A and B are shown apart, each in its own frame.
Chain A
Amino acid sequence: MASGSTLRIAWRNLWRNSRRTGLAVAAIGLSVALVLAYYAVLRGYADWILETLTGPMLGHVQIHAPEWRKDRAMDRTILDVSSILDGLRSDPEVASATARIYAPALAALAEEGFAVVVLGVDWEAEAQPNRLLSGAKAPRGPGRALMGRALAEMMGVKEGDEIALVGQGADGSLANELVGVEGLVRTPVDFVNRQGIILEIGEAQTLFAMPDEAHEVMVFARDPGGAKLLASRLEALPNLAGAEVLDWQSIAPEMLSLIEIIDVAGVFALVLIFVAATAGVANTMLMATFERTHELGMLLSLGASPGRIVRMILAESVALGLTGATLGGALGVLFVALTHERGLDWAALTGGGPTEISFAGLNWSLRFYPTLAPWDVGRTVLAVLLTSLIASAWPAFRAARLEPARALRD
């Protein structure tokens, strides 16, 4: 590689025409910064999809009794749920695990019955950030329920009202109970808002005659990207034998393709960076070698080896590319640092409009949080570096092939 002196000379050469080099650095830096900002937004967008989808509703891995997803029959339950949960929670790759019950039922404030779904949930787990009941106050005491706001409006239920629930136990018996509505909730999950009555899971188990049983266990992985691997590993656990273990990607494949599109967009951005850097570096280096033909001829005739000339020119162009990439990288990281905490509000960016959209049965907040992985910065800088080398190949080759005598005459 180039020696220290080559690098020093290359750096000095670079700034002999400071305006031209400055422009090239600015062009490369700006495109790197823009590409990183683009990455950050895309990544924020993908995270936003993933979190909205998995957080309140799917989890990263779901466990059910076989066939439950098909007919949602009350008696297709997972048995010994507490020991299963204990086992899952002690797994190093599992961030959290929680169980749910979904029981179709009839609810009535007075005589009129309404079709509802009684959800049995673990208050504490569901009240965590980006979960079903984030921010909701858990009811105190037994016989207390939360209720979807839209359902409450339809039924004319107010906080503090007592409603009757009638359903069927997992054993086929009649389940009926009076519960006090302690709070009305608006969750990110549409059907819960429209049909959900939410009970503490223990109470739901008693009401529906399913002690230590549940319809669903949701698992959150420490690494959401490893959900598929985690699912196949959990499936092999002895106490989950016979259960259906699915990662969120298998449950919502259409959402997965939404995220995969983002990766493709990322590759396009990388191509963009190649083009911008190639143009900037190639132009600058061509100009620099053309105008220095005389000087290069002198160096050659003084005994500099063609290899040394090549190294010098390559070093110049890499220095140019890296300077641009460093400045651009700094700008890009600054953008993320400024926006990551507060997030970007799509509604504000597009000049008003809704702050939330409803899609796929979920309510999607239009605020998302730009974020970058180290690899995003790394591969962008690497792309600039490679491009700089490639773009300078021709000028370097041309310089090395100069005939000293002719070059000196020019």
Chain B
Amino acid sequence: MKDRTPMNGDRLIGAMALGASVVVFSASVESFQKPPDVEAVLDHLDDLYRSDSSVSRMEIRVEGRRGTRTLRMKAWTRGEEEVLVVIEEPPREAGTATLRVGDNLWNYLPRIARTIRVPPAMMLGSWMGTDFTNDDLVKESSLRKDFVSRVERRSDDPKGWWLTLDVKPDVVGRWAKIEILISDDWLPIEERHFDRKGRLARTLRFDEVKTLGGRRLPVRMVLTPTDVEGQSTELRYLEIEFDVPIADDTFSLSRLERTP
């Protein structure tokens, strides 16, 4: 079974084209009164944290029953298919890396010097002990492919639009429905993921809109699973550079094992 989680994974490690912000700005002005064009919004969201390429640093705080863990990571992305994430802190886990190429995901464990491909059965497992799943990293930008989307209603506080995405009948995936709240300038505010039984499974909130890498975007996102009390994962972009040249061999297994 292949599960898809349409939004956060790509943007989690995404990058953004500097030029795109101009488009974004004009689009937001246009959308101020009448409902936005859903396809255009989804295109924009897919591209928001991603571009042709990106290099970013982020901090992830995992809130759990046993307290808080903080990780620092560096991520490289190219296109929609290639991602490399390397843990920089804490020292105990430094050098641990995840490589995604297409639908494949590998973890590199420096302590035992092994690279292991994550099997499909483990795709819904936790990624590096966070509330994000391996699947969140792997899924392609499948919002438009797997879901039927529409503008649901106007939101007054905060101002924006609720979009509803219903999974297509023939798609096997984790989510049956996704609700997305976007602001009038087309930035994500909240995403709600509903499982196959129609229950709210998790909520992803975006805030702290700043200009990073030349693009205005929410630098913080907080993922809260519904059914696990006291559990949440906060991801904060510390720096992003978009459309920087990335060496061809960055997204290769041999490079993975030589992570800095």
Instruction: Select which of A112, A169, A171 is within 8 A of B119 by beta carbon.
Output: A112
CA distance A168 to B133 in the complex (A): 13
Contact B116 A171 (CB under 8 A): no
The reply on A170 being an interface residue by CB < 8 A is yes
Residue of B nearest to A176 (CB): B109
CB-based contact A174/B126 at 8 Å: no
Residues of chain A in range 376-404 having any CB-CB distance to chain B below 8 Å: none
Those of B211-244 within 8 Å (CB) of chain A: 228
Q: Give A36 Cβ to nearest chain B Cβ, in Å.
A: 52
B115 touches A111 (CB 8 A): yes
In the complex, the answer to whether A75 meets B92 with C-beta atoms within 8 Å is no
Residue of A nearest to B125 (CB): A104
Q: Does B65 contact A (CB under 8 A)?
A: yes
Mark each residue of chain B from 140 to 184: 1 if its CB lies under 8 Å from any CB of chain A, else 0. 000000000000000000000000000000000000000000000
Cβ-defined partner of A168 (8 Å) among B67, B112, B129, B228: B129
Closest to A171 in B: B66
Nearest CB of B to A366, in Å: 33
Q: Judge whether B114 and A178 touch: CB under 8 Å.
A: yes
Check A111/B128 contact, CB under 8 A, given A75-B65, A170-B66.
no
A115's contact among B109, B115, B121, by CB below 8 Å, is which?
B121
Interface of A is mostly: strand
A115 near B122: Cβ-Cβ < 8 Å = yes
Q: Does A166 contact B (CB under 8 A)?
A: yes
A173 — which chain B residues lie within 8 A by C-beta? Answer: 69, 92-93, 129
Whether A177 contacts B122 in the complex (CB less than 8 A), given A75-B64, A113-B117, A171-B69, comes out as no
Contacts of A7 in B (CB 8 A): none
Measured in the bound complex, the distance between the Cα atoms of B128 and A115 in whole Å is: 15
Among B67, B96, B116, the residue within 8 A (CB) of A106 is B116
| Chain B nearest CB, measured from A16 CB (Å) | 81
CB atoms of B119 and A111 under 8 A apart: no
Contacts of B69 in A (CB 8 A): 171-173
* B248 → A minimal CB distance (Å): 21
CB contacts (< 8 Å) of A177 on chain B: these are 112
Question: A174 to B93, Cβ gap below 8 A?
Answer: yes
How far apart are B22's CB and chain A's nearest CB, in angstroms?
41
Question: CB distance B128 to A113 under 8 Å?
Answer: no
What is the CB-to-nearest-CB distance from B19 to chain A, in angstroms, rounded to a whole number?
38
Q: Are A75 and B66 in contact (CB under 8 A)?
A: yes
Judge whether B116 and A174 touch: CB under 8 Å.
Answer: no
**How many Å from the CB of A406 to the closest CB on chain B?**
87
Distance of A106 Cα from B125 Cα, bound (Å) = 10
Question: Inside 8 A of B115's CB, which chain A residues have their CB?
Answer: 111
* Contacts A75-B64, A108-B114, A113-B122; A164 near B109 (Cβ below 8 A): yes
Bound: A71/B228 CA distance, A: 10
Contact B116 A166 (CB under 8 A): yes
Write out, one digit per residue, whether chain B residues 113-139 have a CB within 8 A of any chain A CB (1) or not (0): 011111101100110110000000000
Query: What's the least CB distance linking B36 to chain A, in Å?
Result: 39
B197 CB within 8 Å of chain A: no
Judged by a CB distance under 8 angstroms, whether B73 is at the interface is no
Chain B 95-118 against A: per-residue CB contact (8 Å), 1 yes, 0 no? 010000000001101011011111
Q: Is the CB of B116 within 8 A of A113?
A: yes
Contacts of A112 in B (CB 8 A): 116-117, 119
* Residues in chain B near residue A104, CB distance under 8 A: 125
Known contacts A115-B121, A172-B69; A164 and B64 CB within 8 A of each other: no
A255 to chain B, nearest CB (A): 29
Chosen A-B contacts, 28 in total, with CB atoms closer than 8 Å, are: A71-B228, A75-B65, A106-B116, A111-B116, A112-B119, A113-B107, A113-B117, A113-B118, A113-B122, A114-B121, A115-B121, A115-B122, A115-B125, A164-B109, A166-B109, A166-B116, A169-B129, A170-B66, A171-B69, A172-B62, A172-B64, A173-B69, A173-B93, A174-B92, A174-B96, A174-B128, A177-B112, A178-B112
User: What is the interface of chain A, defined by CB distance below 8 A to chain B?
Assistant: 71, 73, 75, 104, 106, 108, 111-115, 164, 166, 168-174, 176-178
Q: Please give 4 more A-B residue pairs, beta carbons under 8 A apart, in addition to A106-B125, A174-B109.
A: A106-B119, A113-B117, A113-B118, A113-B119
Give B residues with C-beta under 8 Å from A. 62, 64-67, 69, 92-93, 96, 106-107, 109, 111-112, 114-119, 121-122, 125-126, 128-129, 228, 253
Q: Nearest 10 A-B pairs (CB), nearest first?
A: A172-B129, A108-B116, A113-B116, A115-B121, A164-B114, A176-B109, A172-B69, A178-B112, A168-B129, A174-B93
